[in-house]
Each structure stands twice: as structure tokens, then as C-alpha cells.
Structure 1
Amino acid sequence: MSAALEIVGVRRRYGATAALDGVDLAIEPGTVLALLGPNGAGKSTLVRLCAGLERPNEGTVRVLGEDPRRSLAARRRVGVAPQEIGIYPQLTVAQNLRAFGEAAGLRRRDARTRAEELLEPFALSALADRTAGRLSGGEQRRLHTAAALVHRPSVILLDEPTAGADPATREGILDAVLDLAADGAAVLYTTHYLPEVERLDARVAILEQGRVIVTGTVAGLIAAHGDAALVLRFTDGPVPVAASAFDGAAIQDNGTVTVRASEPAEALRALLNALGPDSSRLADVAIVQPSLEAAYLALTGRAATDSGVPDLVEVPA
């Protein structure tokens, strides 16, 4: 099956800064690719390039075989919800959805029908007649994401679509994405929330400093890299030598050390004994069980969440 979205050798620079440095990715119809990486890795830049909003300095982007910068037909087959919210504040929620549908080429009746279909999964039914400018930030993001899907695009680009969403709304958004993929859409989905990736049964690509460092299925990444791990955060100065000397230890600049461990409880006891007086500098500890989070930690040395340390458990000094 040929790729609906194909990215080959893409580089994008802003002055002397390389946002993307030779990215190769392909997404087939009916599949979801979750793009993971820290802020500044180049995820949003890649979304803009795929939407035809920017041009790569090198390489090619093809949507259904065409350059989205040059083909209006290709751009109309794309649904994009970037991080920056873009809606019509003076229109109601329902009017926004209809307007986006018509702008993408739907007939008025079809746009109205499709707008009504999207209200419930995005928890917008009670807000249908409210002007978008009076919505909260989370409500605007839900509308923004729904508007990207109103014309049932063949290629969907979603950049952190559930940021700030409550659990029920998150489930509705994920269900809508799964429905579109089941209908044959190719989805590029960026997130910091790894349970979403597993819920979507997505393939994974991890982007670091503008380069894809690994791709694979969730199960494959967990099998190869998902050992349990300890994440320890220290205060007052550098990570103690006793912690950094453990096999497989990865150290971050913020005083955090990650240690892969098949038996995390035993490893924690050994670490505490080795630390001696330095154990008083241990602020918190997380035990990450075999999971996509553990694989991400092993591959990057950091957690996928913005906080940097997931599921913290305080350890008394």
C-alpha cells in the first residue's frame, strides 16, 4: 500500500538553527503515527510542512503523491489542527464547524450534517449556539480540533489536540481519531501523553533535535527498550557519583537520573545504601514499570511528560 503522507530527507532551518535535520517518515492510509519528542524537537515544524504552510529547505513532502504547497486539491485532503488555535471568534461553535466544512469543499447541507455529528464527541453540544470568542481555552481547543476533521480528510495532522482536555473529552477526541483511521485516513498525531499512543494503537516515531531516532510499534518498542526504570531527582548540586555510577544511568541537567532496572525495588534499596549521606538530597523517586514510558525513558533519558518525572512517590530522607 502506498503512503498517504510521505516525508523524505526533509530539512528545515531558521537562520542558523536546524529545526529538522533529515527526516524520513511515511504514513499509510488507515494508520496513526504518534510523533513524540520534547518541546523544540521539531514536531510542530513538521506538522506545518505537511500542511503546506511552510516549505522545506531540502527534501520532499507528498500528500497523496502531491506537493501540498503546490496543489490545492492536496491541501483540501488535509485536516490540520496546529498548536496555535485558529477559529472564528465572532461565529458560534456550530457556525464555525459549518464554515470550515464549506471552506474545505463540502456542500452546505453536508457541512451542516457533519458539524452536528462532531458536536457530541468533542463535548460541544451544549455550546453549539455560543460564540467561539466566549469559550474557555479548553473549549476553543476542542472546537479547533473538531474543525480540522469536519471534511473527513484523508490526511490528518493533530498537534497536541488533547492539551488541557478533561478525561471524558480526551476519550471523545481519541474515539473520533480512531473512527477516521478506520475509514482510511492517515493520522500524524503529536502528544506528550503516552497512554494516548497506546489507546490509538499507533506506530511511534521519536524526534530528537530534528532527527528521528527510532520508529516502531508500541509493542516492539516496549519489548526492545521497555525495562522497568527508576527516576530519581536530587536537590542542591550535581547528581551524586554513587547514583551516576549505576549501569545504564542517564543524567539530565535538572538533577534527575534514570536507572534501568529489571528489579526496581532491589535497585532502589541498593541505590539508597550506596548514596549514604547523599540520600538526604533525594527529593523524589518514580518507579516506571515496563511500558512505553519506560521505553521512552531508555531511549531519551527523560520522561515524555512536561514535568520530567512521572508518577512521583516521595521518599523520606
Structure 2
Amino acid sequence: MAALSLAAMAGIDATVGPAFAAGAKDWPTRPVKLIVPAKPGGGTDAVVRILATKLETVAGRPFAIVNQPTGGGSVAAETVRAARPDGNTLLFYHSGLLSSYHSGVYSHNPATEFTTIAMMPVGGSQALAVGPDVGIDSVEDLVTKAKAAPDSVTMGVQLKGASHFMAGLLMRDSGAPFRLVEAGSDADKFTALQGGNIDAAIVNTSGALQYAEAGKLKILGTVTGRPERDPGAPDYPSMVELGFKNTMYGFDFMVLGPKGLDPGLTDRINAVFGEVINDPAIQEQLAKMNLPISFMDRDASVERIVASEKTIGEVAAEIGLKN
């Protein structure tokens, strides 16, 4: 696919006048809002707060984090989609927004109705976790229990979000009839697991490790975009390793702006985020969270979001969630 058409698909409008381009090198000229579709305390929020501190140093302006968790990301996304394309209102989220689009939670395609600024592949994983007192010690135990009593084993997900996709893939692979229930953010899921309100949940592995080490939950296995174990959680098998060969799902963090963002300004914002992500001190902090993040320039980011949107659309169709 030609670079021009990829740019068009990702919302980059080359016809925008030079007003923004002329000042692109000076961005930002005022505080920047980072709109985050997640509650404080979860993995996404933790990452963006680490980055924001360094962004302020690199860019020389404040970066205000605005948490808008309602609507499965749709409220936050609409805040950015409707914003002026000046680079001062940006969306920081992950590829779960693509899942929301393909399951009908959000009605606008992130790959075509925004400006793709940066894609940041995450090397970590998601964990299938259970509460400490449910009497489940393995994925096979969980599957067996669900098959013995259909719809009795509750699996906490964000309905029509990325965790719903992962649970659907596991159900398809295993034949286990889990009862999928809306459980909110990772912070909400951890609370529900410990309280015995749900039997299992799919949560960020980095957060789950802390609870597992404290004996507050058990990790049965991990879901990642590759078949191998997550290097940050080497004691836990991947779903593929356990025989669920199609239960693979990778995450990217992403920075999106309103459609029509000037290409020069987009390059400038991409470069600032790249300097921050690639800073050794930032990488060290992310590694401690078991969230190793790599960075892509603007062209690679456009290619990545277009390919990811296509793949997630195919998965949605396979598991019956196609919008």
C-alpha cells in the first residue's frame, strides 16, 4: 500500500494549511491534555503518568492527564475526535479501542477517523487470573469446572473490549462455556477477584504479579501476541504453551489526535514521544512494571494501526463480535 494512502487511512490530511506547520517545531505552546480512557490506578494510567513527567521535561510545557473511563473508551475518544487539530488534545490509550470499534461499543474507526501519531507495541502480556479461594489451580481446572456446569463460572472482562476478545478466543479454543460478565477496569477486576464476586478475569500481567506475590490471586497463564512465555513473567505458561493455540492477542499503546493534524506537527509530536519512550530511565521504569514498550516512527505507526485494525476485525468476526 502506498505511503499516501496509508496516511489518508490514518487521518493525516496533507491539504491542511501551513498555519500549524509553521509552528510545529515550537509545539507545544501551551499545556497539553492527554485524554486517557481509564481509571486512575490501572496499567494504562500508570504508564501515561510515567511518560507525562518526562514529556514535560522534554517539551517544556505541562501535560495534564484527564481520565475519562466511561463508555468503554468512547467518551474519551470523542473528546479527542472533536478537538481542534492543534496537537494540544491527544488520546493516550491502547489497541483495545480497535476492539471497541469492531464490537460496536464505539462507532468511529480509530485507524481512519483520527490522526495516528504513534504506536508503541507492548512486550508484556495479559494474565488469566482467579481468586485465591476458588479451588482452581490451572487453566484445565477452570475449563473442566465450566464444562461441568455451563454458565456457572464467571469470567470478568470489559464487555466488547480487548479482554472480551481474549476470553472469546479461549472459549473457542477450549469449548468452555464461561459466563462473561462486565467487570470494569483492571483495578475493579482485582477487587472483584479478591472479594469472590467473580471466579476469573483477564487482567494486565504486571499488575496481577503484585497480587499473586501477595497471595491475593492466582495467575493461571498469560495471553500475548506471541506463542512464547512473557519474559517478564517467566514462571507462568502462555495459553499457546498450554495447548490453546489460537489464544494470542497483542497490545499496543497508541497516541492519536484529531483527524486533520498537520503532518509536520504530527512528526514533531511523534519525535517528542519517541525521545521519552527511548529514554533509558523510562525504559527501566517500564521494565519494572513488566511493560516493555518499543516505539515506532510515524510511517511505521500508520502501517501498524492499519494492519491491527484489519486483524482485529477478522478476530471479531471469528468469535461473533463483529460490528
Q: TM-score, normalised by structure 2?
A: 0.26
Q: Comparing both chains, which one has the higher relative contact order based on Cα–Cα distances under 8 Å and sequence gaps of 6 or more?
A: 2
Instruction: Name which one, 1 or 2, has greater alpha-carbon Rg.
Output: 1
Judging by fraction of residues, say which structure has more helix: 2
Judging by fraction of residues, say which structure has more strand: 1
Q: TM-score, normalised by structure 1?
A: 0.27
